[in-house]
């Protein structure tokens, strides 16, 4: 590619085109909801995930690994070429810069067309008719009491290992094969959650995800819900359902968390039900702790022994992976979420509590 010849112009327009598309989408969530999220995306998501579902491994993991390797090779080849052709250095650099802009623009545009526009759809609360007005500390406490009572009850229905920590009675593989049952039941309340999609997949390099502080990744280019397979049993069903919620077109983290809770709650297996309620407990009690530490202390007597053991194990699990990799990953994820109109960044995961509260209010009325 020669520097700024006519063939370079379309390449340079791809990134602005993608930015224009997302800017327009952000101004018209009702249009995105009706035309893209409810009409176009379900066909894309089902087709992609069904096609890649034929592979027993994560195709996304293979593609990302291959892309990283290719990028390293190309970088060293480019440096070598630039050193050899010093007289054409600036021209070569300009060509590489144009090629990089083309790749970035193409990836960004395709990302949005395949899935990313779902960030700009209407809020899930509107679709479900949930009132997400700000909560009082008393409301948060009432929600936590309700969730903890349910968690304690469900904890008595699940198995545990020799250390007293929850154990999946049906095995971990059963989680991946049966998770869709919860979404099928949830689809009776909200049809957008139904339909056939490829099942979630275990990531081969799950240990790396743990060091990055990640429980799963949805990969829009293959339609795969990828899950960290090192996470403990009690959180695996919720993690799988979270990524499957993304797969169904719900891009915002708070909404994916709530839908994971909903799919788990409606699943016939107590293992799923407990995992979903434990996810809700973690987020809701965290919200109380931030809003009113004194109320949080009052809740400590409500935790059942089994729930306490699982939460202690959850904390211990992540402590072993703490370090600079997790910090860097958190910052990257934070920037990614903010770039996609989730102004709270990684804190948007915690906004799940607004949806839990809205559901709780609805049931109280």
Place of tokens 């699943």: 267
pLDDT value at 164 more than 90? yes
Cα–Cα distance for residue pair 186/110, rounded to 1 Å: 30
Place of tokens 């400590």: 300
Mean pLDDT of the 125-132 span: 90
Q: Return the pLDDT at 349.
A: 41
Q: Return the pLDDT at 53.
A: 94
What distance separates the 2 farthest-apart alpha carbons in the chain?
A: 77
| 140 Cβ contact partners less than 8 Å away, ≥ 6 residues apart | 284, 287, 288, 291, 292, 295, 353, 357
Question: 150 falls in which pLDDT band (50, 70, 90)?
Answer: very high
Q: Closest Cα to residue 178, out of 84, 273, 97, 248?
A: 273
Cα–Cα distance for residue pair 343/168, rounded to 1 Å: 36
Highest mean pLDDT among 90-94, 206-210, 271-275: 271-275
Q: Summarize pLDDT for 302-339 with one digit per residue, the tens.
A: 999 999 999 999 999 999 998 664 455 455 545 544 55
pTM of the model: 0.89
Cα–Cα distance for residue pair 287/127, rounded to 1 Å: 24
């Amino acid at each position: 590619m020669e520097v700024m010849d006519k063939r370079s112009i379309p390449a340079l327009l791809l990134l602005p085109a993608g930015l224009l598309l997302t800017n327009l989408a952000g101004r018209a969530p009702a249009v995105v909801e009706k035309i893209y999220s409810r009409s176009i995306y379900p066909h894309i998501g089902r087709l992609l995930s069904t096609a890649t579902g034929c592979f027993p491994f994560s195709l996304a993991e293979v593609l990302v690994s291959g892309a990283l390797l290719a990028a390293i090779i190309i970088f060293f080849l480019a440096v070598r070429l630039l050193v050899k052709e010093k007289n054409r250095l600036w021209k070569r650099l300009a060509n590489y810069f144009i090629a990089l802009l083309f790749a970035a623009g193409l990836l960004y545009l395709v990302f949005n067309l395949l899935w990313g526009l779902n960030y700009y759809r209407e809020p899930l609360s509107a679709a479900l008719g949930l009132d997400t007005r700000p909560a009082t500390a008393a409301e948060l406490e009432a929600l936590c009491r309700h969730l903890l009572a349910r968690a304690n009850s469900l904890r008595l229905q699940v198995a545990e290992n020799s250390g007293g920590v929850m154990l999946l009675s049906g095995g971990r593989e059963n989680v991946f094969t049966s998770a869709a049952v919860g979404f099928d039941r949830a689809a009776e309340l909200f049809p957008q959650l139904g339909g056939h999609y490829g099942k979630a997949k275990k990531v081969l390099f799950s240990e790396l995800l743990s060091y990055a502080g990640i429980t799963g990744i949805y990969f829009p280019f293959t339609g795969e819900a990828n899950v960290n397979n090192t996470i403990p049993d009690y959180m695996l069903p919720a993690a799988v359902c979270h990524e499957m919620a993304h797969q169904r077109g719900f891009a915002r983290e708070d909404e994916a968390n709530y839908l994971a809770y909903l799919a788990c709650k409606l699943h016939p297996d107590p293992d799923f039900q407990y995992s979903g309620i434990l996810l809700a407990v973690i987020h809701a009690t965290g919200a109380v702790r931030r809003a009113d530490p004194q109320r949080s202390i009052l809740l400590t007597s409500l935790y059942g022994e089994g729930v306490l053991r699982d939460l202690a194990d959850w904390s211990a699990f992540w402590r072993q992976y703490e370090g600079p990799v997790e910090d860097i990953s958190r910052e990257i994820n934070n920037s990614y979420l903010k770039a996609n109109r989730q102004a709270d960044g990684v804190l948007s995961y915690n906004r799940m509590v607004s949806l839990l509260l809205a559901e709780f209010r609805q049931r109280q009325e």
